[in-house]
Each structure stands twice: as structure tokens, then as C-alpha cells.
Amino acid sequence: MTTTLIEANSIESLLGKEAEDLLTYKAKVPTDLLHLPGPDFVDRIWLNSDRNPQVIRNLQLLYSTGRLAYTGYLSILPVDQGIEHSAGASFAPNPIYFDPENIVRLAIAAGCNAVATTLGTLGIVSRKYAHKIPFIAKINHNELLTFPNQFDQVLFADVEQAWNLGAAAVGATIYFGSEHSTRQIQEISRAFKRAHELGMVTILWCYLRNNAFKQDKDYHLAADLTGQANHLGVTIEADIIKQKLAENNNGYGAIAKATGKSYGKTDERVYTELTTDHPIDLTRYQVLNCYSGRVGLINSGGATGKNDFAEAVRTAVINKRAGGSGLISGRKTFQRPFEEGVKLFHAIQDVYLSPDVTIA
């Protein structure tokens, strides 16, 4: 196994005043209800599934690449922000990434399990790199050039194109809760079915999107709502779920109260027996909704800021201790000098390699 580059006390230092709480907390839901990551994860979970041998092979490839190889954890570089947030907003802080090759170079230098990016980025360098690091081809996007800006994930590529450029997996986003979600669910369900037929892994960005979810708090980050989005995602056979880290809870109740209308269905035991306000419990509820961890949950790293190293390590600690399967970090890494991006990835990976960061 690859050794860590930072010691446990460095992780504690980055966590600051939260260190003891995050590193020693005992989760509300016991681990014996979960299927946890480990070196045998693909054999233990996926051999009894309906996935064909080529999908199993590509799943094992993802879990066998980079610094986290054979641990059951994933560290992925996602760069679809050139479309999702515009190329100028995304790459002006570090213009080398207007050149797609540098995106792939960063993922390799950082020891990532895979690189997730657009059809165009992967297609223009596929012959040079498809055999050097697993490709995840993101097939749908939201674009911000239409006026007024609209928010809808639309297909930019098809599954056959991803397969032809050598992708090991396809990725897609669904805006659950949006006015377009029904169409997106149907489109991506069909795309994932075809991806599995061709032997590719499926990864779903299970994001919420509805103005009603912003009330006294941003309930796009509620554990109960993101958990349900995860549950919908695994229902259409996503093999890996990407979700934002939960920051609050009881989105169902808050939205119903704010709008004066009945909304969805939940159970009081979600809030009394399955969760608390602790971030590890909130994330564990996300894991529970990924078929109790049978489908790996990777949390997103979020936007860049002043304390990227501390924030990234904090997210990784919460994800790992909750029973998650890794981190997918984009802007925090590529919006800084190349070598700093590599170091930030290593800081994240060291959390998953550290025996001192245990499952809560």
C-alpha cells in the first residue's frame, strides 16, 4: 500500500478545533448495517450483481489505479466546470487548464484513480492517455450561454462516443427536484443501460436543484433530500454516486413549512434514530441511501477558497468515517499552481491511507 505523506498530527492540525470531535465521534447508525470499502470491495459487492464481466473489469480498474489502489477508496479529478461554470470563470485563475492535456496530466501526477471530464477533453488526447489512467466521460451538462441563464442538464454526448475514446466509465448529472428531472431520469437511465451493455461503469452526480429548497438554510445540502436523491440514483443502476457533503437536515419539513404545501414523504425516525446534527451522521445517512454502502458514495470537494487544504481534509475525514468511498475534487485543485494541486490531492488521499482515521 502507498504510504501517507502527512502524519496523523498533520491531519489533526488541519482539522483545528474540530479534530477531536471529527476523529473520535461514534456514529448514530452502527457500522454493522453498512458494506464498507476495502481491498475486496469489487469481489464482495459486485460479483453477484447483474453487471457483465466487462463492467466488473472496469470497476476493478478504477479501484486499482493511483495512490489509493486496492484500498476500496477513490480519488477523482472532475473537470466539467468549463461548461457548468464557463471556461473563463473556471480556468482564468490558472490558464494552463484551457489546454485539456494538462487536466489529464494533473490527475496522473496526483495519483488519482481516474479523471472525469468532457467528451472533447478526453477525445482530443485519448490515444496518448486512455491506457494510462481511467477515463470517465461526462455525457451531459448545464450550459450558461443561453440568455437568460437556464438550468437543465442536457446530453452533449452519447455512450458510444465514450466507449470509442476508451472510457472506462460514463458520468452524468441529474438535477433531482427540478422541473426537468423526470426527463433527465429517463435519459440517463437509458444511457446507463447502454453503458453497462458496452462494459462501462456508471457514475451519477445526484444534485438537487429547485429554488424552493433555499429557505432559512440551503436545503440542497439537506441529508434527507440528498439521501433520497442518492436512492433514486442507485435505482437507475449508478455504480458510484457523487453527492455534495450534507450540511443540514429535515429539508422535507422546512420546505413544507415555508411553502405552506405538503411536500414528499419522510419519517420522524430519520431525524431521531438515523441521524443527528453531526456531519458524520448526516453523511452516513447519505451512505445508507446508497444501498447501505454497496454503491460507493464519493463526496464533492466544493469551490476553491482561502482554506482549501483544511476544507478538503475535513470533507475527506467526514466521508471516510461515515463509510463513504472517497472524494472527487476539482476547483480546489486545478485553480491553483500545478504542484499545489498535486499536494492537495495527496493531502486528501492521505486521509484514506491513514490507519488513524477510522470508520466511526
- For 36-56, write each residue's pLDDT tens digit: 999 999 999 999 999 999 999
CA–CA gap between residue 93 and residue 303 (Å, rounded): 13
pLDDT at residue number 5 = 58
Report whether 327 contacts 312 (CB < 8 A): yes
pLDDT average, residue stretch 14-41: 97
pLDDT at residue number 36 = 98
- Mean residue pLDDT across the chain: 95
Residues in Cβ contact with 62 at an 8 Å cutoff, skipping those fewer than 6 apart: 74, 113, 114, 134, 168, 169, 201
- For 179-219, write each residue's pLDDT tens digit: 999 999 999 999 999 999 999 999 999 999 999 999 999 99
Could you tell me which of 202, 64, 62, 77 has the C-alpha nearest to residue 134?
Answer: 62
List alpha helices for 85-222, DSSP H: 87-91, 100-109, 119-129, 159-164, 181-197
CA–CA gap between residue 352 and residue 42 (Å, rounded): 18
Give the residues across from 205 on adjacent strands.
Answer: 173, 242
CA–CA gap between residue 86 and residue 81 (Å, rounded): 6
Q: Is the pLDDT at 7 greater than 70, yes or no? A: no
Confidence of residue 305 (pLDDT cuts 50, 70, 90): confident
User: Of 6-20, 109-123, 280-294, where does mean pLDDT reach its minimum?
Assistant: 6-20
Task: Report the 10 Å Cβ neighbour count for 225.
Answer: 27
pLDDT average, residue stretch 14-39: 97
Bridging pattern class, strands 201-208 and 240-243 = parallel
In percent, how much of the chain has pLDDT > 90? 88
pLDDT at residue number 83 = 85
Q: Is the pLDDT at 1 greater than 60, yes or no? A: no
- For 80-92, write each residue's pLDDT tens digit: 887 888 889 889 9
pLDDT at residue number 134 = 98
pLDDT at residue number 2 = 61
Query: Helices 279-288 and 308-322 meet at what angle, rounded to 10?
Result: 50
Element (H, E) at 70: none
Task: Look at the block and give the residue holding cell 451531459.
Answer: 140
pLDDT at residue number 140 = 97
| Cα separation values, 40 from 27, 47, 265, 300, Å | 24, 11, 36, 24
pLDDT average, residue stretch 15-37: 97
pLDDT at residue number 6 = 58
Confidence of residue 331 (pLDDT cuts 50, 70, 90): confident
pLDDT at residue number 40 = 98
The end-to-end CA distance of the chain, in Å, is 22
Q: Is the pLDDT at 8 greater than 60, yes or no? A: no
pLDDT at residue number 54 = 98
Lookup: cell for 88: 473563463
- Secondary structure class of 261 (helix, strand, coil): coil
Backbone angles phi, psi at 317, to 5 degrees: -60, -45
Lookup: cell for 280: 458524520
pLDDT at residue number 282 = 98
Residues in Cβ contact with 24 at an 8 Å cutoff, skipping those fewer than 6 apart: none
Q: Catalytic positions, please?
A: 242
pLDDT at residue number 16 = 94
- For 345-354, write each residue's pLDDT tens digit: 999 999 999 9
Domains of the chain and any CATH numbers: 11-353 (3.20.20.70)
